[in-house]
Amino acid sequence: MGAAHGRRSIGTGRGAFKGGTGQFRAPGRVRLLGVGVALVMAACSPPDRPPALADPLPRAVGELLHPDTVRSERVGAGVWYRYLWSSKGPWAVYAVEADATRCDLTLRVLQAEPRESGGRGHERVTSMVARSNGRVLAAVNADFFTPEGGALGTEVVDGRVTSARERPALAWRRGQNPWMGIVDVEDDSLHAGWTLALHDPDGADSATEIVGGYPELLDSGRRVGDLEVTERPSFAAARNPRTAVGFDASSRRLWLLVVDGRQAPYSVGMTLPELADLLQAFGATDAINLDGGGSSVIVVGGRALNHPSDATGERAVVNALALVRDFAGCRRSAR
């Protein structure tokens, strides 16, 4: 399984906790560990003060995975981290759930350091997070990339378009729900829920962030086609490590999700249909698959919590999707 399995990390481990959860019950086997310890605490509460996330594991997730181990920890106000291990797959699942109604939570695209000045290159997500001034609560690897270090899909960082391609993407800016779909590029603009000029950055108060992925998994609660199973069976129908992002517009909950793979008997990974089912079970209605395989990593509290499948450990990638604590949005909403 590699040296990565010797790390001590938050919420990992197999078979250490047994018992029963509050909503889903597998007799004598599953327990929800409510740690209740804040890993990252906000300096002050935002003015909107939305309800806290519920602690119990969603019943649908329990019924889908039948997990042997379930752990839940509060990362900070409005953010929870969950670890689940199921012998059914076997699967190791890592999920961060965030309350997107909070004015102090934002999404940011982090770039590999050589790319921040317009070049190409790769960097580990843990290193990108370490350079981000300590405001990142959680992050996952994001888009697929070329060997030279370029993103395959659309990328917009702090309102600045660095790549524009007609592929699936996640777009976000303050005051609007995250948008997921296929980017439309025309002449000097792109449309991803709203229109951006290719050569003029967004305004500072509502700067857009966009990161690409492939394929779309869920759209308004339904699977998108057959999720590439027919056209790309080795990619979509085989079990592999996976990374994904999901959102539910009605509850305004966001999920960052990683499933480890290629490491039997610990975790074999998921097919894209299995991944879509898991996101639906958590509550997502819209979701996009991000780069997977050896690239899959989830970072919480500055540490990689999963076990990447490469023998050398965490892989260097071109960008990451980060959940960030930023009170500037609360100050703007209070004006």
Q: What are phi and psi of 174, to 5 degrees?
A: -60, 140
- pLDDT of 271 reads 98
Query: How does residue 4 score in pLDDT terms, banded at 50, 70 and 90?
Result: very low
The Cα–Cα gap between 268 and 273 comes to 15
Torsion sign over Cα 81, 296, 244, 65: negative
User: Is residue 105 scored above 90 in pLDDT?
Assistant: yes
Q: Tell me which amino acid residue 138 is.
A: A
User: Is residue 134 scored above 90 in pLDDT?
Assistant: no
Task: Give CA 85 to chain center in angstroms.
Answer: 18
Per the structure block, which two tokens stand in for 104? 């102090």
Per the structure block, which two tokens stand in for 232? 């790309």
The Cα–Cα gap between 150 and 118 comes to 10
The Cα–Cα gap between 323 and 123 comes to 18
- pLDDT of 174 reads 87
- pLDDT of 230 reads 97
Q: What are phi and psi of 329, to 5 degrees?
A: -65, -30
Query: How does residue 53 score in pLDDT terms, banded at 50, 70 and 90?
Result: low
Per-residue pLDDT averaged across 307-317, rounded?
Answer: 97
Q: Cα torsion at 132, 7, 15, 39 (round to 10°)?
A: -30
- pLDDT of 215 reads 98
- pLDDT of 55 reads 61
User: Is residue 47 scored above 80 in pLDDT?
Assistant: no
Q: Where are the alpha helices (DSSP H) in the chain?
A: 59-65, 125-130, 233-236, 272-282, 328-333
| Strand boundaries in 77-229, DSSP class E | 79-86, 91-99, 105-111, 136-141, 155-157, 160-163, 168-172, 179-182, 184-186, 189-191, 195-197, 209-212, 216-219, 222-223
pLDDT digits (tens, 9 = 90+) for 261-310: 999 999 999 999 999 999 999 999 999 999 999 999 999 999 999 999 99
Selected residue with higher pLDDT from 66 and 35: 66
Q: Is the peptide bond before 90 cis (omega within 30 degrees of 0)?
A: yes
Per the structure block, which two tokens stand in for 56? 């119990």
Query: How does residue 329 score in pLDDT terms, banded at 50, 70 and 90?
Result: confident
Average predicted confidence (pLDDT) for the chain: 86
Per-residue pLDDT averaged across 153-181, rounded?
Answer: 95
- pLDDT of 279 reads 98
Query: How does residue 50 score in pLDDT terms, banded at 50, 70 and 90?
Result: very low
Sorted by sequence, the CB contacts under 8 Å of residue 328 that are 6+ apart come out as none
Q: How many residues does the chain have?
A: 335
The Cα–Cα gap between 206 and 329 comes to 9
pLDDT digits (tens, 9 = 90+) for 152-166: 999 999 999 999 999
User: Is residue 35 scored above 60 in pLDDT?
Assistant: no
* β partners of residue 246: 255, 287
The Cα–Cα gap between 249 and 289 comes to 18
Output the CA angle 273-97-110, nearest 5 degrees: 90
Q: What are phi and psi of 40, to 5 degrees?
A: -135, 115
Strand order across the beta sheet in which 184-186 lies? 184-186, 189-191, 195-197
Per-residue pLDDT averaged across 97-126, rounded?
Answer: 96
User: Is residue 34 scored above 50 in pLDDT?
Assistant: no
Sorted by sequence, the CB contacts under 8 Å of residue 206 that are 6+ apart come out as 173, 174, 175
Per-residue pLDDT averaged across 120-127, rounded?
Answer: 98
Query: pLDDT > 90: what percent of the chain?
Result: 76
- pLDDT of 328 reads 83
Q: Are strands 69-76 and 32-34 parallel, antiparallel or unpaired?
A: parallel
- pLDDT of 2 reads 37
Query: How does residue 80 score in pLDDT terms, banded at 50, 70 and 90?
Result: very high
Query: How does residue 21 score in pLDDT terms, banded at 50, 70 and 90?
Result: very low
As to burial, measured by CB atoms within 10 angstroms (0-12 exposed, 13-18 middle, 19+ buried), residue 233 is exposed
How many Cα neighbours within 13 Å face the side chain of 279?
35
pLDDT digits (tens, 9 = 90+) for 199-241: 988 866 679 999 999 999 999 999 999 999 999 999 999 999 9
Is the whole model's pTM more than 0.75, yes or no?
yes
Q: Cα torsion at 319, 320, 322, 326 (round to 10°)?
A: -10
- pLDDT of 226 reads 98
